[in-house]
Structure 1
Amino acid sequence: MSQAYQTNTKVEWDWGEGTANGYVRKVFRETTTQTIKGSEITRHGSDDNPAYLIEQQDGDQVLKLHTEVRKATN
């Protein structure tokens, strides 16, 4: 794994036919469950593959693992 991203780092991930992006707001190095838009979302974060709570430009939040995202290019 590359080094974990810090809070406020802009990251992106593949979404549909394109990409989505947002800013890391929290880093979890353990299993975490977050309620996002009324649904409980769980990611099994670890030291080797932390989970990130990411805030998108429109204010929506997503929960992703390190292996699901990359540092944004723009």
Structure 2
Amino acid sequence: MAAVKYTKADWVAQADIQELDNGQFQGVVLVSREHGNSSEEARHTVAAPSDSPEQALEQATALAHRLLADVTV
């Protein structure tokens, strides 16, 4: 994973895509603490699949930004 990686304080959001069985693509984001344990990891998916990997990655990066914006430092 991790086509794109963003950080805020000690939080990391890694955005990537996955190909679905129907040929579409879905953006996924893994949010975790840089020095935390696996119980602090959360996987998020973009709500709607995309027809292209570029569009799915764009949606995943937008989701990563929104998720990190909600993190309180």
Higher strand share: 1
The interval holding the TM-score normalised by the smaller chain is under 0.3
Higher helix share: 2
